[in-house]
Each structure stands twice: as C-alpha cells, then as structure tokens.
Structure 1
Amino acid sequence: MPKSPRKRALTSPHDALFQWTFSQREHAIGLLKAALPPEVVAAVRWSTLRIEKGSFVDRALRSRHSDMVLSARMGAGRIYFYTIIEHQRDVEALMVFRMGLYMMRLWERITRERPGLTELPPIMPVLIHHSDTGWTAARAFQDIVAIEGPERAALLPHIPHFELRLVDVSGGRAGDVVEEALTALGKVVLWCLSVSGDDARLEREIGRIAAALDEVLQAPNGLAALEALLRYLVATHERLSVQKIGGILEKAAGPRAQEAVVTALDEIERRGRAQGRAEGRAQGRAQGRAQGRAQTLLELLAARFGEVPAEVSARILAADEATLVTWTARVLTAPTPEDVLGDDGRRASPARRPAARKRARRT
C-alpha cells in the first residue's frame, strides 16, 4: 500500500481522502491539469511537480478546511499551487480573504527560506468546494472590498487583485474543470466528496463513476485506493452499514469489484479490531498509572495527617492521572487533606487556610 509522502494530523475524513489521493503525483497532476487555465497547463513542466511541506490554515479552522501546497518548474522559476479543500456544507462569504492570508503566509515562508529573492514566485489559488447550493460567493478579492461610487475606479489599483480557481463539486459533477484530465481515482474522489453525507445521492448516482471505479480497481494500487474510498464513505455516510456501502460499490463496478470489496472490508475490520485492542491497552495502562498514583497519594496523606477522610479518599480514587499529579505536589505544603484537593481541584481559598492551619497544629 502506498504511503502518503506527507505525515500530518488529519482532521477529517475529507482531508484524509484528499491528502491520500492527491499527495500521489499522478493524481495531483491530473487535478491541476483539469483545474488550471490551458495556458498555464501548457507552460508547466509537470515532470518537476513536487509536494511541499507545511500547512498554512489556522489551527482553529482545520475542522472546516485543509490545504496542500504543490510546486513545479515554469519558465525560469517555480510556480506554486495553493489548494484548499472545504469540509463544510455551506458557502463562506470571505473565503477569498482567507485564501489571501494563506497565500501571504506561503510567500513569507518562501522569502524567509530564500532571503536573496528580489521577485516573488507566482501562486495559483485553487479551491475545492462542495455545498448544497454550489459556490455563490465572490471569487475575486477585489469584489469583497466595499467600495461604491465614482471613487471605486481610483481605489481599485491600490487593492490586492487575485481570483480563486474554483473546482465546485456540488451537485455530483466537478464544475469548472476539464474532467478528461483527471485520473480515474481523481474523478471518483471528487464525486465522493460531492455526495458526502447524502445517502440517497450515493445510491442514486453511483453509476456516474462506474467506469472510473472499474479502472481504479484495475490499477496496481487498486486495493489500497478502494480501501481509502470505503473508509471515506463509511465515515461520511454513518446511517449506512459498511456492508451496504460495499454492496453499492460492487453493484457499480460489476463482478470484478466483488473480491476487491470483500478484501478491503476485511482489512478495514481487521484494522478496526487492532485499533480497538491498542486503545484498550493504552486505556488500561493509563488506568494502572492512575491507580498507582492514587495509592501513593493516599499513603503520603496518611503518613502526614493520619487517617484520610472517606470523602477525600473517594475523590482521589476517582481522579484522573493529571489531577493526581497536581494533588501529589501539594502534599508537603497543604495544611489539611482537604486542602491537598482544594475546591473543585483548586487550592483552598486563603480565607480557609488560617483555620485549617490551627486545626493542623492542634493535631
């Protein structure tokens, strides 16, 4: 199974499928050739395409969109392709503004890594969008800047000018692209993105990609691709069982797909069981560490204060490991067992401490 050339935390099934597919040069080249202006396609030396490291999306927004940066030789320099895939089902009015921010961050990194530059390389912004309505917001940055009246013409030259290159997969078909340039897997992935969460459309429109799906299965890494597709469909169609989704794919691709689907489903289930066992072992180790820390804390409290009150003991035995670490650090300075735990996990308030210290001295 091919490994993705980039290792990064994946925030959603959309991101996982997109990164797995288009981090492979063959499919990335197909996507870009399908989305870019013919003049750019003709000028780029596609044999030099590479996947760049790094992400520029704000951490707080990674549940809504993720990015991929690619570059290739064009003329005497390189051109960068900054691609964003949206995870949301609605249209973000200021998406072109966010794209501008990310492009500036990419240019900033380029100039930091190459301090002798006197000119910036071009960046082509590409947006992969899917929603119930299709793209309805502005594509050009200058169109979201509020200027009206006769002064607009005078101000526009002083405002950043760029336009998104849009791949709108809403409605089951990729708009604004040359579909013939896509690889078979690229076509299937864009279609899967377009029907995510819509069970009826998945079943009704699967025939659109039957030929492409059959071609995917015939490829050398067809089983790996099918597993990636199944994982995505299972994650985005939660009301359908794994077997139901496998049956839908079998029906679309014909008899050739049956063995491949069964094999892929077996692999998904095997990995799921292995992950469950690993998570169980990790949880068991964490519980064991917490129990050990709880016992140590109880022994320290008993050594310093004598018998530990039942309510304090109960809270300690129910606490997680991080809380127990905090409480253990207080044993040497807290005046009473209750002050070790504090109020809702915090130290007792100053107003309580004098009285508590008096009780501790009397004992």
Structure 2
Amino acid sequence: MPKSPRKRALTSPHDALFQWTFSQREHAIGLLKAALPPEVIAAVRWSTLRIEKGSFVDRALRSRHSDMVLSARMGAGRIYFYTIIEHQRDVEALMVFRMGLYMMRLWERLTRERPGLKMLPPIMPVLIHHSDTGWTAARAFQDIVAVEGPERAALLPHIPRFEVRLVDVSGGRAADLVEQALTALGKVVLWCLSVAGDDARLEREIGRIAAALDEVLQAPNGLAALEALLRYLVATHERLSVRKIGGILEKAAGPRAQEVVVTALDEIERRGERRGERRGRAQGRAQTLLDVLAARFGALPAEVSARILAADEATLVTWTARVLTAPTPEDVLGEDGQRASPARRPAARKRARRT
C-alpha cells in the first residue's frame, strides 16, 4: 500500500500530492490517457509504463515547478512523458522554453547512459497548470521566438518546434483533458490542486467530486489516499481547521466516509503533536548552541544564527559536538569532513582570543 506523502508535504504540498498519486501506475496511466492524442494512446504498451528516476528542474525553481518522468514501450523503442506541475498561481510567459530546456536535459542524460545511441527517443511534454486566469501564454516553442515579417517563414525551419500538452485545471475544471480516462483519485487530486488556497471554492464546489471521492474511499488504499488528500488540503487551506476540512470531505462523501475521515484526522493530529514536540526540542538545542557559540566567539554573523535556527534536531546534535574543538563558528556549521579555508582561520582565532 502506498504511503502518504508525509515529509514532502511539509515543504511542497502540491509536489507531494501529485508525486504520491501519479507515481502509482494505475493513476499515471489514467492521467496520460486523459491528456495525450488518441494515436499515441493506441500505440503505447501501457503495461510497460514505469517511473524514471531524477528531476531536471533547476534547484532555484523547485518551489515553482516539479517534474515527473515516465516511460513506456512504443513500437520498437520507448517513449518518455515529461510531466511538470506548476506550484505558482500566475502564468509564466516562457514556460514552454523551460519545458524545452528540461527535455534537452533528459535527452542529454539518455545519450550519456547509452553511448551508442543513433536516434533519440520521443518525449511528450505535459504541463499541469492552475492559475486565477487559466493558461494565457504560448504552448508552442516557435511562438515565443520574436521574429515577424516575411523572414519568419525562412527562419522557422531553423527554430526548434514543439508544443506542450496542456492540462489546465484552473477554475475547478480540467481543460484539454478527457476526464473519463482519469481514475477516481486522479479526478479528486486535480480538483484539489485547482482549488488550493481558495476556501470558498473548496466548500462551494466539493460536491462536484462527491462521487469520485466516494469511489476513492472504497478502494483498498482508501485510508492512505484520504490521509494524503487531507494533508494537502490542511497545508493549502491554512485558515480552515483540520476538523473543518474533515467535515467538508465527510459531508461530500456521505456517511460511509465518517469512520475513515475520523481515523485519518486523528492520525494527522497525532503526527502534528509529535512534530510540535520535535520542533520544541530543536528550538531548545538551537538556542543552547547559539549561547555557547556567542560565549566562545562573541557576536555571531546573521547567516550563522539563521542556519542554526533553521536546522533540524539531528543536525544541531552534530554541530554541538564540534563546538569545543572548531576554530571558528563557520567550522562548527561546515559539512562533515570540511572546514573553513586556512586563510580565514588565523584571524578567526585572534578574534576568539580577544573575546
């Protein structure tokens, strides 16, 4: 049974729910069949679908986009499905450029892994988008290249040409999507993504997914799925209490959901209490470490204090063990086996002796 996205949900609830759901083959096949052209659907051998390892999104942009790569047999080779889900609520004008960049990185990795490759496998780019306005930017790469007039026709053969398959869940309805192909959980997840942060729409429109939600709860992994959905809704609707969100889901799914909802809510609240206890211990360790460092080295740089206050308990234990032997505050926080450069140490030692 798939586990709920506990750790990832703390930092990226959209990514966590999407990855947890569509990394399960049944739901991934439903999503792709709902989004792809009929000719591709007919040609793919869906029993061979697999999730590929790795991400190609720039680290600095992972708060805005996350990706998933899947592949399956088609003809004599494989086809790759490069899927991106956006976490932002606006339209990025050059998103199709970023998709092209990530696709090139995937092709680059494939050529490194197979040095004798003579032909590149096809990649189908799929963009999952939700915003207040719906998608308003270009879908085709050639449409973002600024060239007009009679010379455009002459230049087009020399410009990359591809178009993304767009799944626009803005406004609570999935555009460009054959919804009948989705699994019940796939429908519920895309709807939850579309209403993220909008409390009024969550309450007003949840009846739209009542039948799908009831089907989700009847599935063998219904409890895990419900817990994943609850965690996502709690993370993206912070003005609503956990119990309020549970009540909304229970009302939509009917009496059958009551026991499942109560069980999932109790588990979420218990884990929340345990996280609060761990957070309290970490804060205490962080303050102790700051006090010891200040006593030994004097006033600390703001970036050192910020790193300590943001660290988890295990990291703080490691840093505390270094306090008595490290020559500088930076050495205390250095990666295992690494220390500050020798050129900086004499001055740091002098500062330490003067305090």
The TM-score range, normalised by the shorter chain, is 0.7 to 0.9
CA displacement at 1:296 relative to structure 2: 14
CA offset digits 1:176-230 (Å, max 9, x no partner): 0100000000000000000000000000000100000000011110111000000
Q: Residue 10 and residue 96 in structure 1: after superposition, are their counterparts in 2 closer, same or farther (change >3 A)?
A: farther
Task: Give the stretch that moved more between structures: 249-258 or 333-342.
Answer: 333-342
CA offset digits 1:132-179 (Å, max 9, x no partner): 000000000000000011100000000000000000000101000100
After TM superposition, which residue ranges in structure 1, 4 or more long, deviate above 4 angstroms? Answer: 4-11, 280-363
Q: Residue 337 and residue 93 in structure 1: after superposition, are their counterparts in 2 closer, same or farther (change >3 A)?
A: closer
Q: Residue 202 and residue 109 in structure 1: after superposition, are their counterparts in 2 closer, same or farther (change >3 A)?
A: same
- How many residue pairs align between the two structures? 355
Task: State which structure, 1 or 2, has the greater radius of gyration over its C-alpha atoms.
Answer: 1
Task: Give the stretch that moved more between structures: 87-96 or 342-351.
Answer: 342-351
Distance in 2 between residues matched to 1:113 and 1:138, nearest whole Å: 33
Distance in 1 between residues matched to 2:213 and 2:51, nearest whole Å: 25
CA offset digits 1:23-73 (Å, max 9, x no partner): 000000000000000000011000000000000000000000100000000
Contact 1:35 1:165 in 2 (8 A): yes
Greater RCO between the two (CA within 8 Å, min separation 6)? 2
Contact 2:296 2:352 in 1 (8 A): no
Q: Residue 183 and residue 293 in structure 1: after superposition, are their counterparts in 2 closer, same or farther (change >3 A)?
A: closer
CA offset digits 1:342-361 (Å, max 9, x no partner): 99999999999999999999
TM-score (structure 2 length as normaliser)? 0.79
Contact 2:210 2:252 in 1 (8 A): yes
Task: Give the stretch that moved more between structures: 66-75 or 286-295.
Answer: 286-295
Q: Residue 348 and residue 186 in structure 1: after superposition, are their counterparts in 2 closer, same or farther (change >3 A)?
A: closer
Contact 1:11 1:62 in 2 (8 A): no
Q: Residue 350 and residue 182 in structure 1: after superposition, are their counterparts in 2 closer, same or farther (change >3 A)?
A: closer
Percent sequence identity is: 93
CA offset digits 1:104-126 (Å, max 9, x no partner): 00000001101111000000000
CA displacement at 1:95 relative to structure 2: 0.2
Q: Residue 231 and residue 149 in structure 1: after superposition, are their counterparts in 2 closer, same or farther (change >3 A)?
A: same
CA offset digits 1:228-262 (Å, max 9, x no partner): 00000000000001111111111111111111111
CA displacement at 1:3 relative to structure 2: 3.8
For structure 2, the residue ranges without an aligned partner over 5 or more in a row are none
Q: Residue 264 and residue 109 in structure 1: after superposition, are their counterparts in 2 closer, same or farther (change >3 A)?
A: same
DSSP-derived class of the 2:319 partner: helix
CA displacement at 1:290 relative to structure 2: 11
Contact 1:5 1:23 in 2 (8 A): no
For structure 1, the residue ranges without an aligned partner over 5 or more in a row are 272-279
Q: Residue 116 and residue 261 in structure 1: after superposition, are their counterparts in 2 closer, same or farther (change >3 A)?
A: same
Q: Residue 187 and residue 299 in structure 1: after superposition, are their counterparts in 2 closer, same or farther (change >3 A)?
A: closer
Q: Residue 47 and residue 10 in structure 1: after superposition, are their counterparts in 2 closer, same or farther (change >3 A)?
A: farther
Distance in 2 between residues matched to 1:310 and 1:70, nearest whole Å: 43
**CA-atom RMSD in angstroms:** 6.7
Contact 2:127 2:165 in 1 (8 A): yes
Q: Residue 11 and residue 97 in structure 1: after superposition, are their counterparts in 2 closer, same or farther (change >3 A)?
A: farther
DSSP-derived class of the 1:143 partner: helix
Q: Residue 142 and residue 4 in structure 1: after superposition, are their counterparts in 2 closer, same or farther (change >3 A)?
A: farther
Contact 2:81 2:124 in 1 (8 A): yes
Q: Residue 77 and residue 10 in structure 1: after superposition, are their counterparts in 2 closer, same or farther (change >3 A)?
A: farther
CA displacement at 1:303 relative to structure 2: 15
Q: Residue 9 and residue 242 in structure 1: after superposition, are their counterparts in 2 closer, same or farther (change >3 A)?
A: closer
Distance in 2 between residues matched to 1:6 and 1:324, nearest whole Å: 22
Q: Residue 113 and residue 330 in structure 1: after superposition, are their counterparts in 2 closer, same or farther (change >3 A)?
A: closer
Q: Residue 344 and residue 99 in structure 1: after superposition, are their counterparts in 2 closer, same or farther (change >3 A)?
A: closer
CA displacement at 1:270 relative to structure 2: 2.0
DSSP-derived class of the 2:128 partner: strand
CA displacement at 1:331 relative to structure 2: 11
Distance in 2 between residues matched to 1:14 and 1:266, nearest whole Å: 22
CA displacement at 1:267 relative to structure 2: 1.3
